[in-house]
Every structure is written in C-alpha cells, then in structure tokens.
Structure 1
Amino acid sequence: MQIVGRIRGERQTPIVPAGNVAGRALTTVIAIMTFLAALTVGAVSLVSDTAGRWQNDISDEITIQVKPAEGLDMPTALETVRQIALQTPGVTAASVLDKAATSRLLEPWLGESVDFDELPVPRLVIVSIDTGKPPNFAFMREELKEAVPEAELDDHRAWVSRLVTMARTVVLIGVFVLSLVIVATTLTVVFATRGAMSGNRHIVEVLHFVGARSSFIAREFERHFLRLGLIGAAAGGLVAIILFAVIGYLTEANRQTAEADQISALFGSFTIGWTGYAGVFILVATVATLTALTSRWTVTRHLAEIDMISPVES
C-alpha cells in the first residue's frame, strides 16, 4: 500500500508514456477519422438545409413558361400571362424574367450573348404565391391555355419532390457513414489501448497485485487517451472547418459567374451554417470522450480478466 500511495502522491513516471510512437500514430488516425466524420456532418447539414430551402421555395414561387411559336408576339404574350397571374386569387406578385437574366441562366449551355431573335428560347414569368392561401392551379392553367396556348404553368412539385427525396437519401447515407467512422474510431482505440497495456503489462500487473485499484489504473489510461483523442479530434475538426470556410469564400467570391449561379441555385451560398459548425464541435467532443471511455472500459475489462485468471493459477 505504501508503494501505491507513493506512486499516487508523486507520479514521477506515468503508466503510459505520453509521447511514444504508438500515441502519435493514434492521434493521427483519430484526426483523419474526425476529419472524414466532420466532412460527413457538414455535407449532411448542407444537404438537409438545402432540402428545407427547396421545400420552402416550392410553396413560395411558381413559373410560367412561354414557348416561342411562329407569329407569336413574345412581349405581348408575356404581359398577358403576367396580368392573368396577377388577377388570380392567391398570387402576390408576378414579373417577367428579362432577356439579360434569361441569357445568364442559359449561359452554361448556350454561351454568352444569346440572340433571342435567331434562337427560339422560351421565356419565363416568375409568380409569387400566398403560402397561406395558394391559388387554384388547375383554374390558372385553364385561363392561361385559353389566352396564350404557348404558356405552360410549372409548380415544380414533381421536380422538387424528387430532389428532396434524393437529399433525404443522402442524409441517411451520411448518417450511416458517420456511424461507420465512429465504430472504426472505437475499434482503433480498443486496439491501441490493448497495445499500450501489452507494452506496459508488467507495470500494470505489479501495480494491480500490490493493491492499486482498477479505477486508479483505468483513470491513468483514460487521461492519456483523452488527451490523444482531444488533440486528434480537434485537429481533424479544425481542418474540416477551414475547408468548409474556404469553399464558402470561393463560392461567394465567384458568385457572378454562371457556374456559381447554378451552384447557388442548388446549394445556396454553399456554407454549412451554425448548425454544421456546432455539429463539428459536438463531434470533436464526442470523439474525445468516446476515446477516453473506450480506453477505460478496455483497461477495466482486462484487469477483471487478470483477477479471474489469478485464483486459478494460484
């Protein structure tokens, strides 16, 4: 008991060496695992927010497409469509998408400076609707068909529904991948703890046999692996946060390009928001805590096995 008390009081040499090669390797593995998990958390947050935005957009706005036809006066047809939309109950606003905006929308496929006189390009009327009292779309379609046969109303419901379904599938896949990363991290810590115990087996067994409590030995391992887990998880999470911040900055800086417009149409500003960053911080804390608890459980179980074997050998 004096030996144990002396060890507890002085703690000149830790049971597990703080800077061995195995410890650095484990820190690196945890950092990589946390980085991958943080990317998954950010991607899931981004896709989830985008799916919510798509669902909001479908209730806020619809479009009416006017297809060019021989003898059709496009400006007159667009104005007629706009007036019909404004006169429909449930519509709050309607505006014609001008040639500049339409040209920019088609730029990724048709290039710059689209000639609307030479190329038959459909034109759009953007209609904002009252989400509390939406218009009667069937009645609106009949009105448009009678006044402008070339007009076609699109409420985007089928298209956005497929995108939302895809987004939810991506979220489920992300959660599954995150679970796999957590399981892999746990197994890695178990093997690392067993390796640390094997390298210090004689010290652990001597301490245990002379009266050191299992909780004391397990706590020493827990502190060691908590430090490693916290360093590795923080490093991986920080790199992931920097990566998301850089991608968001580059997207915002190139917002005026046609490619950026398409990305913004799908993912907004391509930033994960405070929920994504909070998720990364929670992930870092979870990985560090899981590392410490896993090592403690492994040590406690190993010491229990020693206690079971000792009476048999004696």
Structure 2
Amino acid sequence: MTRSHPAPRPTQQRAAMRVRPTAPILPPSNIQGNALIVVIAIMAFLACLTFGAVSMVRATAAGWQSQISREITIQIKPAEGLDMDAALQKAKDLALGFVGTEAGTILDDGATARLLEPWLGAGLDLKELPVPRLVVITIDEENPPDFAEMRELLAQELPEAFLDDHRTWVDRLVSMASTTVMIGTGVLVLVFTAMVLTVVFATRGVIAGNRHIVEVLHFVGAEGGFVAREFQKHFLKISLKGSAAGSALAAVLFATLGIWQTNARATPESDQAMALFGTFSLGWSGYLGIVATMVVIALLTTLTARLTVMRTIDEIDLIRSDPARSDGLPAS
C-alpha cells in the first residue's frame, strides 16, 4: 500500500512561485535593437561633437575678448617734420597718466616689421614707407580709463595720434560667440528631435511585434506601468550602449586632435586651426559635458519609450472598450 504525500501548503506554493525565474517579456537583443543602438550611437556622436565644437569656439572667443579688452592701441601716422620716437614716448606718457592704465609698450621697428611681414614680406625697411607706428597700452579691465577724455587729449597734444579702444572688435566677438551658441543649440535640438522620433518608431515596431504578449499580460491584470517598465529596461540598455559608444568616440576624437595639435605646433596647419578654433583641448568641463550629454540621451530615450508604451496600452484599452472596433466593424 503506497503512502500518499500531503498536498503542498499554500505558503509553499507561493514560495515556489517566487523562486521560479520568469522569462523577460522582450527579447534581450534583436535586429531592431542592434539597428537602434547604431542610430543612437551616431546621434550621440553628433550631439557630443556639436557640444565640444561650441565649447571650443566659446572658449576661444572668450580668450580673444579678454585679450582685446586688456589692451588699447595708439596709432601715430608719420608726418613731415615729426620726430616719431619722441611722439611715441609722448603718447605713451599721456596714456599712462590716466587712471586705469597699467603699462605701455612701444613697438619698435623690428616688431612693426614682423606685424607687416605676412602682407609685405620679409626684409621691410620702414624708413622707406609711411607706416604708422603703434603704442600698446595695458588697461585694467575692471576699472578702464576714460577713453573719450584720452582721445580728446591726444588730439590736442598729438594730432597725428589715433586711439583704438578695440570696442568694435569686442562687440563683434561677442556677437560671433552668441551666434555660434545659437547655431549649436539648434543643431542639438534637431539631433535630439530626430532621436526621439527614431525611438518612438522603434518602440512602436517592438510593440507591434510583441503586441499579443502585451495584450495577454494586460488582459490577465498586468498594469500598464509594469509593461512600461519592462520596455523601459529594454530601451535603457539599448540607449546606454549606443550613447556610450557615440560619446566615447567623440571624446577620443577630441583627445586625438588635441594630441595632434600639441605635436604639430609651429606648423602652418596647426597655426591656422588654432587661429580658427583655438585649442582642441576640452578640459574636464568639456568631458563632463560629454558624459552629461550621454546621460541625457539615455534618459530621454527611456522616457520616450515609456510614454509611447503607455499611449499604446491606452489605445488597446480604447479598442477593447468599443465592441464595434474590437470586432473590426466601424463604430456607429
């Protein structure tokens, strides 16, 4: 006679159910997921590239602006009977007599010739050409001198002198930096918009392929938040992989350009690149900005996937609540 085993208690059944592993609702990887990783990586690379370029241009413009704001220039035109050396010294002394000036430098013949060398060539004899001479005055940026009064005094004492306070160049640099930031921000907005649309279509495609699973889960009582969280996990992994790859590629590109610029100093290519873009070194703030861009892309992708899933579940509920639509008939 066989002994019958007692039936498992309800607590034991619940414990067994908790221990039993559950399969994921969505496949861990598929063709759509791999393609989306590539798309997000490309967009992350473009976003980080734009962010880095805007940061470099802003830093370069700020450096130019600071350098120009620290100096003013007194230009003295040659005239018949004018003692140029005495006029240069007098202009320097007059400028340094104002509060807010710190130092003055008279550009000698060698320095003036080097300034004109790119246009007039080497070996220039300034005595044969009526070339204006310059006095560079360093000023206090926080407490600049009265330029109008200085200009008036120079006009009285040295009619051949002309004061250039560089305000026009500073205004142009500020305008250029603002325009660059606006263009960069617009490009970032376009990249993020394209990424959101891509994620929406990709999410809808995944839902369409697994719609029967979503409907069954929702029909047996699974809440929309539970289904949305499963999709969130899926797209969070995809977005982290793609954004990390694109951001890392952008960081490596900037680091490589910085190393190239360091090793290629005093060459025409490096000088032209430095004059246009400044240094390619982003610094810690730039690389932190790249990491922040990666995080924003991942969060934006996850949020977009959640909202898309919740909207799709609402559409399923709407169709189920309308018998005519659920039977494939037009609603009256």
TM-score, structure 1 normalization:
0.84
Deviation at 1:189, TM superposition (A): 0.3
Alignment partner of 1:224 out of 209, 231, 234: 234
Code of the aligned partner of 2:234: H
Matches for 1:20-31 after TM superposition, within 5 Å:
20-31=30-41
Q: What 5-or-longer segments of structure 2 have no aligned partner?
A: 1-12, 327-332
Measure the CA separation in 2 of the matches of 1:231 and 1:113.
Answer: 60
Deviation at 1:178, TM superposition (A): 1.2
Alignment partner of 2:101 out of 76, 91, 101: 91
**In the alignment, is residue 48 of structure 1 matched against residue 54 of structure 2?**
no
Alignment partner of 1:34 out of 44, 68, 84: 44
**In the alignment, is residue 11 of structure 1 matched against residue 22 of structure 2?**
yes
Alignment partner of 2:309 out of 299, 303, 311: 299
Matches for 1:101-116 after TM superposition, within 5 Å:
101-116=111-126
Report Cα offsets for 1:158-195 as digits up to 9, x if no partner: 22112211221221222122112111111110000011
Deviation at 1:29, TM superposition (A): 1.1
Measure the CA separation in 2 of the matches of 1:249 and 1:107.
Answer: 30
Report Cα offsets for 1:24-64 as digits up to 9, x if no partner: 21111111111111122223323333444444345422112
Counterpart in the other structure of 1:159: 169
CA distance 1:112–1:235, change in 2 (3 Å): farther
Aligned alpha-carbon RMSD (Å): 3.0
Report Cα offsets for 1:101-148 as digits up to 9, x if no partner: 444544544455544345554333221112343222223223333444
Q: Number of residue pairs matched?
A: 310
Check the 8 A contact 1:108/1:258 in 2, yes or no. no
**In the alignment, is residue 63 of structure 1 matched against residue 73 of structure 2?**
yes
Counterpart in the other structure of 1:168: 178
Measure the CA separation in 2 of the matches of 1:84 and 1:260.
Answer: 40
Measure the CA separation in 1 of the matches of 2:265 and 2:196.
Answer: 41
Q: Which has the larger radius of gyration?
A: 2
Measure the CA separation in 2 of the matches of 1:243 and 1:114.
Answer: 42
Report Cα offsets for 1:184-215 as digits up to 9, x if no partner: 11111000001111122222222332333322
Q: What 5-or-longer segments of structure 1 have no aligned partner?
A: none
**In the alignment, is residue 248 of structure 1 matched against residue 261 of structure 2?**
no
Code of the aligned partner of 2:230: E
Return 65-74 or 32-41, whichever deviates more. 65-74
Code of the aligned partner of 1:10: P
Check the 8 A contact 1:30/1:233 in 2, yes or no. yes
Return 43-52 or 301-310, whichever deviates more. 43-52
Check the 8 A contact 1:38/1:283 in 2, yes or no. yes
Return 107-116 or 55-64, whichever deviates more. 107-116
Deviation at 1:98, TM superposition (A): 4.4
Measure the CA separation in 2 of the matches of 1:173 and 1:50.
Answer: 16
TM-score, structure 2 normalization:
0.80
CA distance 1:125–1:52, change in 2 (3 Å): same
Code of the aligned partner of 1:236: G
Counterpart in the other structure of 2:319: 309
Code of the aligned partner of 1:11: T
**SS of 1:135's equivalent?**
coil
Matches for 1:272-291 after TM superposition, within 5 Å:
272-291=282-301
Alignment partner of 2:195 out of 185, 193, 197: 185
Code of the aligned partner of 2:293: L
Q: Sequence identity of aligned pairs in percent?
A: 56
Matches for 1:118-157 after TM superposition, within 5 Å:
118-157=128-167
